[in-house]
Amino acid sequence: MSHSNTLLVIEDDPGLQKQLKWSLDQYDIVLASNRTEAIAALRRFTPSVVTLDLGLPPDPTNASEGIATLKEILALAPHTKIIVVTGNDDRSNAIEAVALGAYDFYQKPIDPDTLNLIISRAFHLEALEQDYRTLQQQQTFSTGLIATSPQMLTVMRMVERIAPTHSTVLLLGESGTGKEVLAKTIHRQSQRNQQPFVAVNCAAIPETLLESELFGYEKGAFTGAVVQTKGKIEYAQGGTFFLDEIGDLPFALQAKLLRFIQERVIERLGGRKEIPVDVRIICATHCNLQNLIAQNLFRSDLYYRLSEITLEIPPLRDREGDILAIGNALLQRYCKEHNCKEKRFSREAAHAIENYAWPGNIRELENKLKRAVILSDNTLITTEDLEISDQLDNSMPLNLKAVRDAAEVTAIKRALHFTDCNITEASRLLGITRPTLYSLLEKHGIQDMIRNHLAQE
């Protein structure tokens, strides 16, 4: 894997600039004399390692400008390895910089050999971390799913449990949430993974053709039926049959599908012979099937057959932490697919991505990112490239206690999700004692989360 050899040197002393450029000539050196130049160079060259003199203008005797530069670099490029350079009497500021996220510090006067060793180690560590992140992303895409939020981790735990079984699964979720991707994941993790995965979208095929598409037809069954043709259900023999948008299945066909699910036999259109078919059935819809049943548009007996196990996939806007993780992974994927230079999100674009409602969910995110990668000439993807704005949530409570309580509830729920409601492990993750966690559960009225989990065991 190739890695950047770019070193950004942030130093306002021209003499030291020349010394460093001469002694570190094995790297692609980029020089900056102040904070403005440094951030501009960071955006343009995306260096892997930075050396930062904390005593930057306007006041070289005060480290505040250097600390501010450090914070801004880490906010824009958190994986960058920053080596702060300080004076002999400035150890406290160097330690503060390391606490804020700097990789290491070095005190003047400059010894080229020692500094070279520190920089070399920083490049080596950054390369190892980048390789690890790349391997993680490749592993994520091998399953087709990126899930870091408590909501999706719960769904994935359910997938692990149901995939080895033969149960019929109903996937519910808005358009674009990844229902077919999840269906394929269930298939890949099942014992049928060496057999076909066949998908049919009920909304994409005209009603007059859907029956023959599903069940096939015999020669002469209708005008134009010149040869015997198998249906999609037969082609899924031994594997998984995925019916997408089941809520759009015509009412007249629902009875025939119900008989197939109950008996596991089909009859081709125009035929009389019963054909046994062994398939696992997964269905998906964005519709509220209960409402369709109330309107006599969907059979209740079919619904109960389909919903042996029901999985609700949350919309993208409700997946805490998933949006940016998915966005970054897709961004790198599309850069590679289109042979573009590696790109990343600007700070404003990252905020906009997290605050945008994403009504089209992952499908909309994919479209906007693919367009941005193709049309953007810069290494930074901006809100203009994405054609979205930073929609800040103005409904956040202004009362500090309310904000603190909301943050506590979120943190506790995430810890419980990550530990499968194990109180001891959740307490350890939160850095509190078991009695304190029990007290917080009672305070926020979320004891039911534990009770419901125990009831399902």
Question: Are residues 439 and 406 both part of a single domain?
Answer: yes
**CA proximity to 69, closest of 47, 89, 84:** 84
pLDDT for res 192: 94
Query: Contact, 72 vs 35, CB < 8 A?
Result: yes
Helix (H) or strand (E) segment spanning residue 452 = helix 447-456
In a domain, 250, yes or no: yes
Q: Which residues of 297-317 are buried (b: 16+ CB within 10 A; e: fewer)?
A: bbbeebbebbeebebebbbbe
Question: Are residues 170 and 308 both part of a single domain?
Answer: yes
In degrees, rounded to 5, the angle at the alpha carbon of residue 65 between the alpha carbons of residues 59 and 70 is: 150
DSSP states of 398-423: -SHHHHHHHHHHHHHHHHHHHTTT-H
Residue 255's domain comprises: 162-312
pLDDT for res 392: 44
pLDDT for res 132: 72
**CA proximity to 203, closest of 268, 286, 259:** 286
Amino acid of residue 368:
K
> What CATH number is given to the structural domain containing 365?
1.10.8.60
Query: Contact, 60 vs 45, CB < 8 A?
Result: no
In a domain, 296, yes or no: yes
433 phi, psi to nearest 5 deg: -85, 165
C-alpha 173/C-alpha 326 separation (Å) is 18
In degrees, rounded to 5, the angle at the alpha carbon of residue 329 between the alpha carbons of residues 323 and 331 is: 95
In a domain, 199, yes or no: yes
Checking DSSP bridges between strand 216-217 and strand 169-172, what pairing results, if any?
unpaired
Which residues are bridge partners to 6 per DSSP?
28
> What CATH number is given to the structural domain containing 85?
3.40.50.2300
Give the relative orientation of helices 35-45 and 64-76 as an angle to the nearest 10 degrees: 20
Which residues are bridge partners to 169 per DSSP?
282, 309
Last residue of a domain, one of 293, 312, 331: 312
Amino acid of residue 308:
E
**CA proximity to 10, closest of 20, 22, 25:** 20
C-alpha 239/C-alpha 280 separation (Å) is 6
Query: What's the total number of domains in the chain?
Result: 4
pLDDT for res 394: 42
Q: What's this model's pTM, rounded to 2 decimal places?
A: 0.57
In angstroms and rounded to an integer, the radius of gyration of the C-alpha atoms of the chain is 29
In a domain, 214, yes or no: yes
In a domain, 376, yes or no: yes
**What is the residue-level pLDDT of the chain in tens, covering all 457 positions?**
446 789 999 998 898 899 888 988 899 999 999 999 999 888 888 899 999 998 888 777 777 888 999 999 988 888 899 999 887 667 788 888 888 899 998 888 888 889 999 999 999 998 888 877 666 544 444 455 777 777 888 888 899 899 999 999 999 999 999 999 999 999 999 999 999 999 999 999 988 889 999 999 988 888 888 888 999 999 999 999 999 999 999 998 999 999 999 999 999 988 888 999 999 999 999 999 999 999 999 999 999 999 999 999 999 988 877 888 888 889 988 998 988 888 888 878 888 888 888 999 999 999 999 999 998 888 888 888 998 865 544 444 435 666 777 788 878 877 776 677 788 888 888 888 888 988 888 887 777 666 655 555 5
